[in-house]
Chain A
């Protein structure tokens, strides 16, 4: 499977601050990456599709001005949670598709907003 890294693995921040999460594809060029959010004991919910060189596509109900996505290269996508609040505390996971349909995930970033 594909090798995908995420940084940081965990972050604690104060309410109102912004947090950037990086997702890197280490062994192939990813034109598309997916960002998910997972609350405790719940399933993965797709937030947005990150497209290299163009705007991200957001799922219904996800605020694009709050969750900024940048996919400036074929190996890096970033998710910035702006003005984070405690309800944004979650496990954020990115996914990539190196071959037909098969999706592999980064190790995830646990965000805690105080």
Chain B
């Protein structure tokens, strides 16, 4: 099955700086890579996703890049704000709708 690794496990940045979270996956059949933001005690919220037919996608301050050859994808948050503080999870779908999640990155944005 799919195996997703995520780094770093914790990340602290100054407000206004950029944050980058990286994930690798093992199943070459994976073609869908979502990123979720989870605040304490709440459900994961889909913030951006990318499919295997594109290499980069951007939505305002958030961007995701995908390198299918190397089997890795990354989340980039620019101009970070305190409200970006949360746990972020990457995921990959294998060959269907089942998602395998990374271990999570706890992002802290210092005011």
Residues of A within 8 A of B (CB): 1, 32, 34, 42-46, 49, 93, 95, 97, 101-108, 110
Contacts and interface: CB of A to CB of B under 8 A. Distances in A.
For chain B, what secondary structure do more than half of its interface residues adopt (helix, strand, loop), or is it mixed?
loop
Interface in B31-65: 32, 34, 41-44, 46, 49, 51
A96 to B, nearest CB: 9
A65 to B, nearest CB: 22
Contacts, number: 47
Contacts of A93: 43-44
A32 B104 contact: no
Interface residues of B, number: 19
Nearest to A6: B43
Which of B41, B51, B97 has the most chain A CB atoms inside 10 A of its CB?
B97
Nearest to B43: A105
Contact of A46 (B43, B49, B89, B100): B100
Contact of B98 (A43, A49, A105): A49
A34 B96 CA distance: 12
Contacts of A103: 34, 46, 97, 99
Nearest to A49: B98
28 contacts: A1-B46, A32-B97, A34-B97, A34-B98, A42-B103, A43-B89, A43-B101, A43-B102, A43-B104, A44-B44, A44-B89, A44-B99, A45-B101, A46-B99, A46-B100, A49-B98, A95-B99, A101-B32, A101-B34, A101-B49, A101-B51, A101-B97, A102-B34, A103-B34, A103-B97, A105-B43, A106-B43, A108-B42
A44 B101 contact: yes
A104 B101 contact: no
A44 B34 CA distance: 14
